[in-house]
Structure 1
Amino acid sequence: MVIAFGVSWASWFTAVGLGGSATQAPTVLPYLFGAFGPLIGALVIRVRRGRRGEPAPEHVVRFRRTTLFWAPLLLALASATVLSAALLAHAASGPALSWDDAKEVMQDAGGPAAFLVSMVISGPLSEEPGWRGTAYPRMRASMGRFRVGLVLGVIWAVWHLPLFFIDGTVQNELGLKSPSGVLFAVSAIPMAMLTACAYERAGVVASIAVHFAVNTTMVLLDVKAPVTQAMIIGVQAILATLLLTTNRPTNKPATLIPTLTDHGAH
């Protein structure tokens, strides 16, 4: 946590001090680097554990061939939570479902391929090895699954706070004190639970897939209206609760497995 917050907040507050937009130099450099705080923290912990010859934590979930089945399935399910919530919000007099801005967003990113790569790297890949691959199994040693989801979700929300002060970010556009900004912060809790379900089912690759699916679908649909955000929180909270209640981890405890044979633990 110290490494993740230290790297991210130092970088993001540097971006705040530089001023300007998060999409333009020189602010873009510390802004982008800050996203990798959780990943850097995970790598440091992994190297440190290896040097000490410590076993993997009991609740670590390794990559298995079944991950190749579960990851795309969970990706589709996560995207469906946003789509269904957007439809429900429209039925409740919210904004209509629209893909009008999707083409423009992809063009600004340099095309569909560049857009998808950027959506994988910024968020899912830069965060999940830290939050789910490293923090989650260690927190599970002393907490239940719902409690970990709540605590890690709050930590995740607090971690994002500096982004509200950087011009050009989604968070800055929403506004920290606005209903949309508050709902963005609250949404970290069901998302933490949903990605935890994916991690327990198929490891960090699956949690990356879920994180990517939610972020990408929300960006393409340009989700900003409070009613849509609230509906997404509700749908994801219900789904995460059902999954946490009915699913059980598929991996056996890893306490006695040496580090040297712990391939792909994160």
Structure 2
Amino acid sequence: MAIAFGTSWACWGAAIALGGSASAGTPTYVPFLLGAFGPLIGALVIRVRRGRRGEPVPEHAVRFRPAALVLAPLLMVAAAGAVLAAAAIGQAAGDTTLSWSDAQDVMADMGGPAAFLVSMLVSGPLSEEPGWRGTAYPRMRATMGRFQIALVLGVSWAVWHMPLFFIDGTVQHDLGLATPSGVLFAVGNIPMAMLVTCAYERAGVLAAIAVHFAVNTTMVLLHVTTPATQALITGCQLVLIAVLLLTGRRDTGPRTEAPIEAPAPHPVARR
């Protein structure tokens, strides 16, 4: 956590000091982009240290297995579907308007569809999930339940994002810190953390990256900014979380080893 926060906030602090927009090609863009890699850098440091010390892989770490190549795309579609369903409900209620032309404009501003997708993959899912889920989660899971971890990591995740509200050109800056949309973004990190956790438990870091990517990309393409639609997205995510929990493993608490009973004392002969 110290490495992730220290690295990210130092880079984003530099971006704030430089001023200007964090769009590609500007001086602010470089520290803005590097700041996203704080969790990944922290994960790499922990992995190197673990290897040098000969420490075992944490018990609750989910190793890669071939099934992840099937599960990850399915979970990605489900996560994107939850956001799309919420946006469709919001449009039916007159809160927002879905427009394919607006989505095309977003991709064009990022340099085209390919550049947009690469940017959405690298800046967020790929730079964060090896740290939050791949490194922090298994260690916390040794002593905490998944709901407790979702709360702790969700709050930590929200605080970690805070400097982005002060960098022009970011989604957070457009939402505003002291606005209903900004507050809902911060609160939404908790169910989002639980959703990505469910994906990680199913198929490891690959699935966590896929779900994170799906949510971020769909929200940006749909230009979700209104509080009502944000609240609907949280509701749809909670439904998806419930489905994943009901169809997944039932162990909701930390694993504990059975206590070792002391052997009964031998009777002492009395004279």
Computed over aligned residues only, the root mean square deviation of the Cα atoms, in angstroms, reads 1.4
Structure 2 equivalent of residue 200 of structure 1: 201
Q: Which string of whole-angstrom CA distances, capped at 9 and with x for unpartnered residues, describes residues 22-65 of structure 1?
A: 11521111100000000000000000000000001110001100
Conserved? CA contact 1:200–1:249, under 8 Å: no
Q: Give the equivalent residue in structure 1 for 2:257.
A: none
Deviations 1:64-118 (A, max 9, x none): 0000110100010000010000112223331122222111111122211111111
Cα distance in 1 between the residues matched to 2:63 and 2:158: 26
CA–CA distance in 2 between the matches of 1:199 and 1:2? 23
d(CA) in 2 for partners of 1:245 and 1:44? 35
Partner of 1:100: helix, strand, or coil?
Answer: helix
Offset, 1:241: 3.2
1:2 Cα shift? 0.2
Q: Which moved more, 1:135-144 or 1:95-104?
A: 95-104
1:15-164 correspondence to structure 2 within 5 Å: 15-23=15-23, 24-164=25-165
Instruction: Report the CA distance between 1:209 and its aligned residue.
Output: 0.3
Alpha-carbon distance between aligned partners in 1 of 2:7 and 2:214, rounded to the nearest angstrom: 26
In structure 1, the residue corresponding to 2:178 is in which secondary structure? coil
Equivalents in 1 of 2:142, 2:92: separation in Å? 43
Residue pair 1:145, 1:244 contacting (<8 A) in 2 also: no
Structure 1: distance between partners of 2:227 and 2:246: 28
Deviates more, 1:23-32 or 1:196-205: 23-32
SS of residue matched to 1:69:
helix
Question: What is the CA deviation profile of residues 175-234 of structure 1, one whole-angstrom value per residue up to 9, with x for unaligned ones?
Answer: 000111111111111110010000000000000000000011111111111111110011
- CA drift of 1:245 comes to 4.4
- The structural deviation recorded for 1:150 is 1.1
Structure showing greater relative contact order (alpha-carbon pairs closer than 8 Å, 6 or more residues apart): 1
AA aligned to 2:119 is: S
For 2:140 and 2:164, locate their aligned partners in 1 and report how far apart those are by CA, in whole Å: 26
Paired position in structure 2 for 1:178:
179
Q: Which runs of 5+ in 2 are unaligned?
A: 252-271
Q: Answer whether contact 1:157 1:186 (CA < 8 A) is retained.
A: yes
Runs of 4+ in 1 over 3 A off after TM superposition: none
**Rg bigger for which structure?**
2
Please state whether the residue corresponding to 2:100 is helix, strand or coil. Answer: coil
Point out where structure 1 has 5 or more consecutive residues left out of the alignment. Answer: 251-266
TM-score, normalised on structure 1? 0.91
CA distance in 2, matches of 1:67, 1:2: 30
Provide the residue aligned with 1:5 in structure 2. Answer: 5
% identity of equivalent residues: 70
In structure 2, the residue matched to 1:259 is none
The residue aligned with 1:235 is 236
